[in-house]
Amino acid sequence: MGTLLLNPNLKFKNTDKQIAMSPLQTTGVVDVGDSYVHSGFLLAYNTVASGILDTINAQVTAYPSYQIVVVGHSLGGAVASIAALSIKAAVPNTPLKLFTYGRLTSPMPELSKLTIVCAQGQPRTGNAMFASLVESRIGTNNIFRVVHSSGRCFGVKFS
């Protein structure tokens, strides 16, 4: 096994998990309480947020009867979760669904006979407050996580 070296200047919200988290601050999303998200995922979305929201607003104006579907695979699923909050804030009356997906794999092939399985879908995006915020603003009936294994597909509710 190798050794993971961490930058001692990084601030970690959950030191037991070693996830660099920042307060949720993104375009249009207010009243987030103590919601924290992975700093890298937040930076990834905030870098493109204005362009995405400009496009969404133009499309909603042109096609007012359409709904929005935000989709992300793996790391993109984490970014999609942040984007969904921002998009919902920008166009609150437009129906929105959030889908994240990935695949099931054995984390250690040599142990595959022990059926150790983990989801390589959307990684942890934020803390419990963030998950609650996403569920309350997007709605649990509009959030889906899909994983697949060996050609079979399973739909799993996001929580």
CATH 3.40.50.1820 is held by the domain 12-157: yes
**Residues 12-62 pLDDT 10s:** 555 445 678 999 999 999 999 999 999 999 999 999 999 999 999 999 999
The token duo for 56 is 């969404």
Q: Find out whether 77 and 100 touch, Cβ atoms under 8 Å.
A: yes
**Which residues lie below 8 Å from residue 8, measured CB to CB, with a gap of 6+?**
none
Widest distance between CA atoms in the chain = 54
**Residues 122-138 pLDDT 10s:** 678 889 999 999 999 99
CA angle 155, 156, 159 (to 5 degrees): 155
Among 105, 95, 104, residue whose Cα is nearest residue 143: 95
Among 62, 126, 131, 128, residue whose Cα is nearest residue 98: 131
Enter the pTM of the model: 0.74
Q: How confident is the model at residue 17, as a pLDDT?
A: 55
Q: How confident is the model at residue 114, as a pLDDT?
A: 39
**Residues 76-114 pLDDT 10s:** 888 999 999 999 999 999 999 998 877 655 444 444 443
